[in-house]
Amino acid sequence: MEWSSLYGPEYTPTFEEIRSYINNPLWQELNDYLQAAYIVQPKLSYSKCSMQRGWNVKYQKSGRALCTLYPTEGFFIALVVIGEREQTQAELLLPLCCAYTQGLYNQAACTMGQRWLMLAVTDSKVLQDVKQLLQLRVAPKVPHKY
C-alpha cells in the first residue's frame, strides 16, 4: 500500500512504523548518522505536495535544513538541496559519486541558485553520496566514522 494512503494526515506514524514500512537497513544507518554526527533529532511533518505526499522526516541544524527523508516501500528518498555556496564543492565531489547521483545532479534544474536532489537511497553507494552532500551543506558537529 502507498505510504500516503497508509498514514493520512489524521494519524502520525511512529518511527518504528516508518522503519517497518521502509524495511531497509540503510534507513536506520542514515538516521543514526544524522543524529550522531549533527546532534539533531528528527521531526515528522505532513506534506500535501503532490510530488511526495504524506509524512516525512526532516532534519535541521541551527535553523538550516539538512535534508528531508520520504518513506517508500523498500527504500527511501532523501531530499538534499545544494545551494549556491555549495555548488563549487558539489561539482568537485561529483566525480567521486556513483553514476546515479551524477546523473541526478546534472539533470536537476538550477533554480534561484539551488539544485533540489531527490535521491532514491536504494544502495550503500547512494547513501554515501547523500552523507557527502550533506557535509557540504553543514559540517558535522561530531567527527564520525561513517
- Which pLDDT tens digit goes with each residue over 77-128? 999 999 999 999 999 999 999 999 999 999 999 999 899 999 999 999 999 9
- Is 30 in contact with 130 (CB distance < 8 Å)? yes
The tens digit of pLDDT for each residue in 9-41 reads 888 999 999 999 999 999 999 999 999 999 999
- Cβ neighbours of 50 (radius 10 Å): 7
Measuring CA to CA, which residue among 99, 117, 100 is closest to residue 108? 117
Q: Which residues fall within 8 angstroms of residue 39, CB to CB, at 6 or more apart?
A: 141, 142
Q: Show me where the domains of the chain are located.
A: 3-80+118-137
Q: What pTM was computed for the model?
A: 0.92
